[in-house]
Amino acid sequence: MAGAQAAADLPAWPQMPVAAKQAPNILVILTDDVGFAASSTFGGPIPTPTLDRLAARGLRFNRFHTSAICSASRAALLTGRNPSRVGMSGVTNSASSHPAYTGILPRSAATIARLLRDNGYSTAMIGKAHITPKWETGPNGPFDRWPTGLGFEYFYGFLDGDTDQFAPQLYRGTEAIEPPDDDPGYILDKDLADRGVHWLREQNAVQPGKPFFLYYAPGTAHSPHQAPRDWIDRFHGQFDMGWDALRGQILERQIAMRTVPAGTRLTPRPKEIAAWETLTPEKRRLYARMMEAYAGALAFADNQIGRVLDEIERSGELDNTLVIFVQGDNGSSAEGGENGLFNELAGLNEQGAEDLPVALANIDRLGGPMTYGHFPVGWAHAMSTPFPYFKRVASHLGSTRNAMVLSWPRGAPDAHGEVRTQFHHLVDIVPTILEAALIKAPARVDGVTQMAFDGVSMLYAARDAGAPSARKIQFFELSSDAAIYADGWLANTKPVAMPWQFTGIKTVPFGERSWELYDLASDFSQSADLAAQNPAKLAAMQRLFFREAKRNNALPIARSPRGLPAPDLNKGRTSFSYPAGVKRIPSAIAPDIRNRSFSLVATVDVAAGGGDGMLVTQGGRFGGYALFVRDGVPHFVYNKLGIERTVLDWDRPLAAGRHQIRLDFDYDGGGIGKGGVARLSVDGAPSRSVRIASTMRLLLPLSETFDVGVDTGTPVAEDYRVPFRFNAGLQDVTVLLR
């Protein structure tokens, strides 16, 4: 009896959270840089049968909005708060001390993954994250703002804004991993679908009946526009009519499909975009092929997303899965500029497009592993038909209105194949999920009081086509392009720069910006500016804008600079020492060799016959540098944007024993992107030298990293193959900034 009583006095096991009995599974899909008019589901030229299939069993929302740029949209989707309130108005890569642009999600804005996990859901993110502060993306963390620290029990994908489909910079959880180097057919979009299917099967096998939340965010169709060759070839010749004619064709289909109202007007082509008929035949041929690569990428991604849906259907769970598919985190991207790019990094470095003869000679490589391409702005404008402008121009609907499909047969059984016209935004996704899952938002998470949501549930609209919009006001702002929506009206600034223009922009104080006014209730496409006819309404909307800007932590508004620069873990350091095997160090944390003199010093032990492999590298095929040994001979390569490679070789193989291999680069100075002299020496012997005419001005590749003793990603030079591990004794590498 005493033993029984003692056992009874022991504490019970802690109760695991259990979801509500009728809680649905949740699948949220977010593609990248896909405009309103790209998919066939909304009248576009690119077949997206997976999205078509969801729309047939669900609803198309034609007044759904995003936040004009990657990280901002992802923060809005995951937190239910406006991006500026959670420090994410821009991208994590360009964070500053301005409260709207810190790139740091506050603990007062717990993500939907955290809320669902705490209420009995399995949670996973697969694909692009782009919500972690750039200075926290290294192997030393901290990891609380990585996906696994934000409520996702499983993460498989990449952290930055884009990655190479053929050689992605992948993470599983917080561990950097490499794609298989023995699979010639590897491509990321298929890999992501494979992981999604496996995760779903595993969850169902281990704990049947436990609901899941899968956030599936492929990086497609952000540049690089890459896809299997046969998928690109399907579109051969389909865009030869050009972007102007295509816009007209799209609008006709949109009206016929009722994804836009009858009478919708086509907005004019901005002056920065050339008329298709004015282009030379050579440019038309090149630009059409660039669009074919984009189309192949989006079509293939849709096909792979379909495999994930097939798995949910196979398990018998599709009818009780709330699927929210947002086609694009903003409008189509114009960052390819007027001429398009074989290498996106050239645009980010303001180096301009390749010479036309060079581009035409490489046209058959578009969409493959040897290009990191981006189509011209004319196609971005067409993919945002019928609206004005494109990604980054947050003042206009071509940047912020995206296609969205919601499907939940069990929760909204009468809603299928219809169009919903209520105004909604990414911030409405979290409240929608919480209502469907029968979860009350907590007042506190980990003892931290939670800020109120900006969004509302969209389920009322799913169940009643005629219900008035529950959203009355929405604030938009990115780099001083701004807008305010209120009860059908939109007031917005006129843009002062285009998305492909990063420097040399004339500064216009925000108080001096010109404004426009639109009645979106009668003007679906934002085509008729009423500012001159209704100055009183414009003034009222401007007053509302500034009230909302204050509430949303967006003041002061300026294009740049916006406060102090982001934290720099290497600030003040001029000497860095690394042992062999250190790899996958992001550019934000690696020694910054841009626009300055530097030295690379490697200490090696080699046996008779020398050694082979990488000593130290940063970057890859589309830009970077590498110091390595091949056939016992030291080599240095500086690769400027994949266009110009400067090679410096030692004159003889290394003898057996310990050696110090040193590369010194003496920068010319006098501004950014200048050249200099590279000098290679071994054991202090007189050096060999070569002149590097110019260097990358602003950025090294986002999709590549700093590695010691190995090369991950793509090779800096094409005469070796990754991983190119150094097969002799690499003691250490020192980087000196001078």
Q: Reply yes or no on whether the pLDDT at 58 is more than 90.
A: yes
- Tell me, what's the pLDDT at 500? 87
Report pTM. 0.96
CA 124/CA 304 separation, integer angstroms = 17
Backbone angles phi, psi at 89, to 5 degrees: -70, -30
pLDDT band at 274 (very low <50, low <70, confident <90, very high): very high
The enclosing H or E element of 171 equals: strand 170-172
Q: CA angle, corner 94, sides to 93 and 99, nearest 5?
A: 120
- Tell me, what's the pLDDT at 289? 98
- Tell me, what's the pLDDT at 561? 62
Please name each of the domains of the chain with its CATH number: 25-465 (3.40.720.10), 474-551 (3.30.1120.10), 575-737 (2.60.120.200)
DSSP secondary structure code for residue 439 in this structure: -
List strand residue ranges (DSSP E) for 226-384, in order: 321-327
What 411-416 contacts at long range (C-beta under 8 Å, 24+ apart), as own/partner pairs, is 411/24, 411/320, 411/322, 411/436, 411/459, 411/462, 412/58, 412/59, 412/459, 412/462, 412/463, 414/463, 415/58, 415/59, 415/462, 415/463, 416/56, 416/57, 416/58, 416/59
Q: What percent of the chain has pLDDT over 70?
A: 98
pLDDT band at 431 (very low <50, low <70, confident <90, very high): very high
- Tell me, what's the pLDDT at 60? 98
Residue partners of 443: CB distance under 8 A and separation at least 6: 449, 450
CA 670/CA 199 separation, integer angstroms = 53
- Given a contact cutoff of 8 angstroms between Cβ atoms, the answer to whether 703 and 163 are in contact is yes
Q: Reply yes or no on whether the pLDDT at 348 is more than 90.
A: no
List pLDDT tens digits, range 212-258.
Answer: 999 999 999 999 999 999 999 999 999 999 999 999 999 999 999 99
- Between 264 and 348, whose confidence is greater? 264
- Tell me, what's the pLDDT at 30? 99
- The amino acid sitting at 646 is T
- Tell me, what's the pLDDT at 214? 99
CA distances from 166 to 178, 181, 504 (A): 11, 10, 34
Q: Reply yes or no on whether the pLDDT at 584 is more than 70.
A: yes
Structure token pair of residue 689: 């030298």
Which range among 300-309, 320-329, 347-356, 628-637 shows the weakest confidence by mean pLDDT? Answer: 347-356
DSSP secondary structure code for residue 730 in this structure: E
List pLDDT tens digits, range 133-147.
Answer: 999 999 999 999 999
Q: Reply yes or no on whether the pLDDT at 3 is more than 70.
A: no
Instruction: Return the half-sphere exposure (C-beta side, CA atoms, 13 A cut-off) of residue 388.
Output: 23
Q: Reply yes or no on whether the pLDDT at 663 is more than 90.
A: yes
- Tell me, what's the pLDDT at 11? 84
List pLDDT tens digits, range 156-170.
Answer: 999 999 999 999 999
Q: Reply yes or no on whether the pLDDT at 8 is more than 70.
A: no
- Tell me, what's the pLDDT at 353? 65
Q: Reply yes or no on whether the pLDDT at 80 is more than 60.
A: yes
pLDDT band at 7 (very low <50, low <70, confident <90, very high): low
Backbone angles phi, psi at 108, to 5 degrees: -85, 5
pLDDT band at 698 (very low <50, low <70, confident <90, very high): confident
- Tell me, what's the pLDDT at 56? 97
3-state secondary structure of 483: strand
Question: Mean pLDDT highest for which of 40-44, 93-97, 502-506?
Answer: 40-44
- Tell me, what's the pLDDT at 351? 72
- Given a contact cutoff of 8 angstroms between Cβ atoms, the answer to whether 356 and 383 are in contact is no
Mean pLDDT for the stretch of residues 577-601: 96
CA distances from 236 to 187, 243, 577, 605, 733 (A): 21, 15, 51, 53, 48
CA 46/CA 300 separation, integer angstroms = 10
List pLDDT tens digits, range 496-529.
Answer: 999 988 767 778 899 999 999 999 999 999 999 9
- The amino acid sitting at 679 is R
CA 363/CA 378 separation, integer angstroms = 18
List pLDDT tens digits, range 359-397.
Answer: 999 999 999 999 999 999 999 999 999 999 999 999 999
- Tell me, what's the pLDDT at 10? 84
- Given a contact cutoff of 8 angstroms between Cβ atoms, the answer to whether 362 and 356 are in contact is no
Q: Reply yes or no on whether the pLDDT at 609 is more than 80.
A: no
Q: CA angle, corner 291, sides to 699 and 244, nearest 5?
A: 115
- Tell me, what's the pLDDT at 6? 62
In the sheet where 644-649 sits, what is the strand order? 644-649, 633-640, 623-630, 613-620, 706-708
Backbone angles phi, psi at 134, to 5 degrees: -60, -30
Mean pLDDT for the stretch of residues 321-347: 95
**β-sheet bridge partners, residue 171:** 157, 176
Structure token pair of residue 529: 């500016």
DSSP assignment of 551-574: HTT-PSP-SS--SSBPP-TTTT--
Q: Reply yes or no on whether the pLDDT at 118 is more than 90.
A: yes
List pLDDT tens digits, range 521-564.
Answer: 999 999 999 999 999 999 999 999 999 999 999 999 988 767 78
Mean pLDDT for the stretch of residues 397-415: 95
Residue partners of 602: CB distance under 8 A and separation at least 6: 615, 616, 627, 660, 661, 662, 730, 732, 733, 734
3-state secondary structure of 268: coil
What does the mean pLDDT of the chain come to?
Answer: 96
The number of helix segments (H) and strand segments (E) in the chain equals 15, 28
